Structure 1
């Protein structure tokens, strides 16, 4: 019994299932999707631009899921809804174009040891534009894969009843 408990505890320290609790990462991850989050540095690594990460939101500590838009040393801005990093426009094929407004933001310099995160559904996302940069130490891990529902990140799927699972996933706001 202790061996089983040790294996379960060790497993959750390496990777943990979590449920997406908002629609701000749509269409990549929808409300109710379940994802596997790699928590060890070997699985998660240093956050890179484009990674979808789970982190403790500054000031509240709430677990949140967003995409890394810029890393330490980068300068970021949004011009007419277009993400600009270090003076170059960023190709973002994962964006929900219907949720991109003509907003302007920045420029912002991201300090070393921090990341700037954005939701894929930009117009409705509470992200670094609201709460500021996130310390790399507050990043819990990187999303490795979607556990449920089984679909590609570019395919829209109708919501159905969630199948029974053997775990109690953590909840991460999208």
Structure 2
């Protein structure tokens, strides 16, 4: 058994440890905070600053949003959800900034992105999912609406739509593993309609989706959750696709 003198010396050594200085505590807490932020950003939630007006009035330029990065590891994106995704080479978000060059600007931009203090890169885009794999998307019906599987969508969130005579597109059958996305500011958004002539007919890969935007956190007057509109509540592609197209159009 250890002697009492040995135990007493050990306790004295513990008591004699010097406390961290304020500077050391600040450095330690900063490192811990950064480590936690990096882990959260990498696997759970990421903050973005909206760079353009393509999703107005739902999302405005400068809005800071939170993106759930884990949700699409357990399920596919749903119609009506707002997603952040990596655009292909020919996609570009108006107003987005190119990545910084140089070591310190790159590090500074990354640290700022942990807290949503810097805008996303020029290939980080924000749109609303309108069609998922198997859907047929087109425009327009007799009321000038976008249709999914023959069902006209009432879209109260659409801001500044294009003139009816300029809305026509499709039909587009969304391939497996891909999504058809549109901006809410329909008159200016360079979305799936804009790229409809490419080999994927304007659709984006689900694998390029970073996550679902679920909350506006800043500015406070515009803060709130980003729910799926009732527009998509009654859409049942499997049932509608079994009906002949002419019958669906009459209904």
Q: CA deviation at 1:32?
A: 0.9
1:101 aligns with 2:130: no
Which of the two has higher C-alpha Rg?
A: 2
2:139 to 75, 78, 82: 78
Equivalent of residue 59 in structure 1, options 76, 82, 89: 89
Distance in 2 of aligned mates of 1:152 and 1:43: 26
Normalized per residue, the structure richer in helix is 2
Q: Which residue of 1 aligns with 2:194?
A: 130
Identify the residue that residue 45 of structure 2 maps to in structure 1: 15
Taking structure 2 as the reference length, the TM-score comes to: 0.56
Q: 1:54-104: CA deviations, max 9, x gaps?
A: 0011225711000001000000001164110000011212111x3342111
Which residue of structure 2 lines up, in the alignment, with residue 34 of structure 1?
Answer: 64
Q: 1:94 to 1:7 in 2, by over 3 A?
A: same
TM-score normalized by the length of structure 1: 0.80
Shift in alpha-carbon separation, 1:146–1:43, aligned structure 2, 3 A: farther
Write the distance in 2 (CA, Å) between the matches of 1:128 and 1:37.
21
- Whether the aligned pair in 2 keeps the contact of 1:71 and 1:115 (CA below 8 Å) is yes
- Retained in 1: the 8 A contact 2:72–2:211? no
Distance in 2 separating the partners of 1:77 and 1:143? 25
Residues 123-150 of structure 1 deviation map (CA, whole Å, 9 limit, x = unaligned): 1110011231000000000001001112
| Larger strand share, 1 or 2 | 1
5+ residue gaps, structure 2: 1-27, 92-122, 196-201, 225-251
Q: Distance in 2 between matches of 1:101 and 1:55?
A: 28
5+ long unaligned stretches in structure 1: 154-174
Structure 2 equivalent of residue 139 of structure 1 = 209
Contact 1:44 1:142 in 2 (8 A): no
